[in-house]
Amino acid sequence: MRGPPSFVLLAALLQAALGRAVQEDLTSDSCSPPQLSLNGTDAEKSEQRVRKDYSKVREVKFSGSIGPLGEKRLCKIKCIGGQWVGPLCVDQQDNGRYQPLFKNCKLEYVNPHIVVTFKNISIHKAGVVFPHGSQLQIRCKELGLYKLLGTSNPRCHNGEWSTRLPSCVPTTLLTNFTEDSPPTILIKIPSGSASVEPGGELAVFPESTLHFECLYPRRVGSPDWTWTTPLGQYLTGWAIASEERDWKYRLSIYYAKAQDSGTFTCATPRGITNSVTVHVVAVTCDPISVSGMHLTVRVEGTRLGHKAIFRCPVGFAVSGSPNLTCQASGKWSAPVPRCEPVKCPPLDAPGGLDEPHLRLEEHNNSYGGRAVFSCAWGYKLAGAPGMECEIDGSWSGKLPKCLPIQCPPPVLPVNGHLIQSEAAPGMDGGRYAVGSLVQFACSGAHQLEGEASIICTETGFWSHPPPFCKPRCRYLGEPDNGYAAPSKFSYEPGDELQITCNPGYESRLDQPRPKCLPDGRWSAPLPNCTDFTQI
């Protein structure tokens, strides 16, 4: 329940404050410059604006901002024996004397059924730190439906709450009429008005009529109403309407007067109780003045318990509390809200897109605006390529995903194979990433026809069809003393070589002409041209 003293120096005030530093001509035991912090962080900028030399300064006064509501108090630190001591702050409730700051108290948790109020402002978050002396007001959210166990107004005293923080227990209506739970009290106000106050009491405007309905199964027994108003006489009894008479035990207050202020308790036959504390008071609140743009309000009136319900036009959301109630303090339960344009969570903020390859093509997070997506090179969108910002401030769909684009393994040509050059890094389960290059080679007497290397493109297809490996006959060279025609690097099946011998030489007539066969071999070796004389 303890927190560190929350303590803030405000730069602007500090500058003025340091002008009031007390100077004495003492050279020994001087203090080094005090560590300045602004809203809890080191204030480098403000430091330049304030003095550097503290050797003659004995005391520094400044405005401290204390507690969750930033209450301003005059505070000081003193240089004693070379050390800054303090702070001491002025406490208005203690004749304006400087006092050491007591320890703060922390609100460790806020139960969802509890409403915590501090100085008429409701606190929704756990972890808020309250200065010494603060008094909280705690009530259950639904008066009568939950029963508060414990004290409704704990006070912080030097780091400790005066009592354990209270809790809210569910009543019969919520527990299916379990016999050991407190009875539910439903509050009906057929005429007049009332407000549930921060401390959990029901503030009632005079002349209102109230029915308190204590819920208990009639077949089990009758509950009992008691009250603390000394002179009060109230009608009690089972409800009359047939659908209510077996479980609603009523107490009615007609035309409430100040004398009707007190606590009304319903006790079950087993002695388990729940109560409502009534405070009849003639209070009115100031009329609501709406100055904000767009905001419209429906006000019941300005009496205690009257409500003001705020609306914003389409495309705007109420920022603040949409319903205000006139409270016994004569104040509305919350400040007048504002209309803020509906915005969807921005996607261009850090962490807005959790998908690393997703890119925003268009981003308008106003109501009716849209976000349009694309994927980084080599990736394709899976899911809707865009979404709209809806009236409730949420995007119309889910973020799409970016899946890597891949090409299927290429078809290998007959009599050919892959040279696995740089395909490996992009391989994923036999599929190739965009940009992968594969190269083909043909075996033996085959020649590659088509593209020897192909690339996996962004379409998910290869840049070219895989090549063919065609059978070819190799070039045989020239015969000695003659030549072969046609002269080519390779020959298609069916090609024949014509041998012509140099003058004085000839080839033997029985030597057949070489013909390129379908399997890439020659039908015969290259014939010789032999010397005429040798034949």
Ligand X SMILES: *[C@@H]1O[C@H](CO)[C@@H](O)[C@H](O)[C@H]1NC(C)=O
Residues that bind ligand X (CB under 6 A): 10-11, 38-39, 119-120, 176, 309, 322-323, 328-329, 331, 364, 366, 368-369, 511, 525, 527-528
Burial class for 442, CB neighbours closer than 10 Å (0-12, 13-18, 19+): buried
C-beta pairs of 283-292 under 8 Å, 24+ apart in sequence: 283/203, 283/205, 283/326, 283/327, 283/328, 283/329, 283/330, 284/326, 284/330, 285/326, 285/327, 285/330, 285/331, 285/332, 286/330, 286/332, 288/324, 288/332, 288/336, 289/336, 290/336, 292/336, 292/338, 292/339
Yes or no: say if 332 and 301 are a contact pair by the CB < 8 Å rule. no
Helix (H) or strand (E) holding 12: helix 11-18
Yes or no: say if 8 and 41 are a contact pair by the CB < 8 Å rule. no
**Residue number, 461 or 532, with CB nearest to ligand X:** 532
**Residue number, 46 or 490, with CB nearest to ligand X:** 46
3-state secondary structure of 126: coil
**Residue number, 416 or 482, with CB nearest to ligand X:** 482
Taking the CA atoms of residue 446, residue 451, residue 456 and residue 460 in that order, the dihedral angle to the nearest 10 degrees is: -100
Tell me the closest approach of the beta carbon of residue 365 to ligand X, in angstroms: 8
Tell me the closest approach of the beta carbon of residue 108 to ligand X, in angstroms: 22
**Residue number, 148 or 328, with CB nearest to ligand X:** 328
Tell me the closest approach of the beta carbon of residue 81 to ligand X, in angstroms: 31
**Residue number, 87 or 514, with CB nearest to ligand X:** 514
**Residue number, 166 or 337, with CB nearest to ligand X:** 337
Write down the residue that tokens 């969807």 correspond to.
Answer: 344
Tell me the closest approach of the beta carbon of residue 424 to ligand X, in angstroms: 46
Widest CA span of the chain, in angstroms?
Answer: 158
Tell me the closest approach of the beta carbon of residue 272 to ligand X, in angstroms: 17
Tell me the closest approach of the beta carbon of residue 104 to ligand X, in angstroms: 17
**Residue number, 56 or 307, with CB nearest to ligand X:** 307
Tell me the closest approach of the beta carbon of residue 56 to ligand X, in angstroms: 28
Q: Which two tokens stand for residue 145?
A: 């439906």
